[in-house]
Structure 1
Amino acid sequence: MTGRNTKKTRRKYDAGFKEEVLKMVASGRPVAEIAQALGVGDNLIYRWKNAAKSEKAKSSNLHNGSTHPPDTFLEIERLKSELRRTEQERDILKKALGILGRGI
């Protein structure tokens, strides 16, 4: 062995480049072909693809109502308490009708 330092440095790719690669993949071109043409590893493209998919899933979960913005949360709590109060009033009126109905 020689005494050289053979440490590899990682190349960094900006978001625009990654998006272009993912558009190429989405258009139907084979990953291997894209990787060879751009000098990027196949596995790296697959990692970018999976990361984009998980980000999309996260954002869709956020918009599907699994987590509510604070204003929406407060509105839901207010409506729940109003519903409980209205149900109690209804139950009281049912009991009153039952009591008054027996006397007739």
Structure 2
Amino acid sequence: MTKRQRRTFSSEFKVDAASLVLDQGYSISEAARSLDIGDTALRRWVDQLKIERGGETPTVQALTPEQKKIQELEARI
């Protein structure tokens, strides 16, 4: 059995992928299949982008530039 290497994705890719679902009407499974990523990962990104668009600062690494800046500023305090 071969071990599958963990892939990493940029914040921009995550936002673009989640936007397919939120803004363009794709289902999570359609978007995940077309981007060759897992449904679960895409579902997390969609949920996180919804939170960030709602103005809430996420507890994990932010996706949007605005929320990244907020996290940086909060870390300084």
* Bin of the TM-score, shorter chain as denominator length: 0.5 to 0.7
Q: Does 1:49 align with 2:41?
A: no
Provide the rounded CA distance (Å) in 1 between the counterparts of 2:32 and 2:10: 16
Whole-angstrom CA distance in 1 between matches of 2:21 and 2:35: 13
* Greater share of residues in helix: 1
Distance 2:15 2:52 in 1: 13
Distance in 2 (CA, whole Å) between partners of 1:7 and 1:24 is 30
1:32 and 2:29 matched: yes
Q: Which letter maps to 2:16?
A: E
The normalised TM-score by structure 2 is: 0.59
**SS at the partner of 1:13?**
coil
Identical-residue share of aligned pairs (%): 31
**Are 1:17 and 2:13 an aligned pair?**
yes
Q: Please state how far the C-alpha of 1:55 moved relative to its aligned partner.
A: 3.2
Structure 2: gaps of 5 or more residues: 58-77
| Pairs aligned (count) | 55
Q: Return 5+ residue gaps in structure 1 as ranges.
A: 60-104
Residue 42 of structure 1: how far off its partner (Å): 0.6
CA deviation after TM superposition for structure 1 residue 52, in Å: 2.0
- Per-residue CA deviations over 1:32-56 (Å, capped at 9, x if unaligned) read 1111111001111001112223334
Question: What's the RMSD between the two structures over aligned residues?
Answer: 1.9
